[in-house]
Amino acid sequence: LEAARKVVDAAIEHGITLFDTADMYGNRGGSELALGELLGARRKDIVLASKFGMNMDDAGVKKGGSRRYIIEAVEASLKRMKTDWIDLYQLHRPDPLTPIEETLRALDDLIRQGKVRYIGCSNLPSWQVADAYWSAKTLGLEGFASAQDEYSLLVRGAEKELIPAISHFGMGLLPYFPLANGLLTGKYQRNAPMPEGARMTREAQRAGEVLTEANWAKTEKLAAFCEARGKTLLELAFSWLAAQPVVSSVIAGATKPEQVAANVKAADWALTPEELAEIDAITR
CA end-to-end span of the chain, whole Å? 41
Q: What pLDDT score does 70 carry?
A: 97
Contact predicate 218/153, CB 8 Å: yes
Number of residues in the chain: 284
Q: What pLDDT score does 208 carry?
A: 73
Selecting among 25, 69, 151, 176, the annotated active-site residue is 25
Q: What pLDDT score does 202 carry?
A: 66
102-140 tens-digit pLDDT: 999 999 999 999 999 999 999 999 999 999 999 999 999
Residue by residue, pLDDT tens for the chain (284 residues) are 788 999 999 999 999 999 999 999 988 889 999 999 999 999 999 999 999 999 988 888 899 999 999 999 999 999 999 999 999 999 999 999 999 999 999 999 999 999 999 999 999 999 999 999 999 999 999 999 999 999 999 999 999 999 999 999 999 999 999 999 889 988 888 877 766 766 666 666 677 778 889 999 999 999 999 999 999 999 999 999 999 999 999 998 888 999 999 888 888 899 999 999 999 999 98
Q: State whether the Cα torsion 53-57-60-66 is positive or negative.
A: negative
144-158 tens-digit pLDDT: 999 999 999 999 999
**Structural domains of the chain, ranges and CATH numbers in brackets:** 2-181+237-269 (3.20.20.100)
- d(CA 174, CA 155) in angstroms, rounded, equals 14
Is 118 catalytic? The answer is no
With the CA atoms of 200, 94, 245 and 18 taken in that order, what torsion angle do they form, in degrees rounded to the nearest 10?
-70
How far apart, in Å, are the Cα atoms of 273 and each of 220, 235, 239, 267, 283? 21, 17, 13, 16, 15
pTM of the model: 0.92
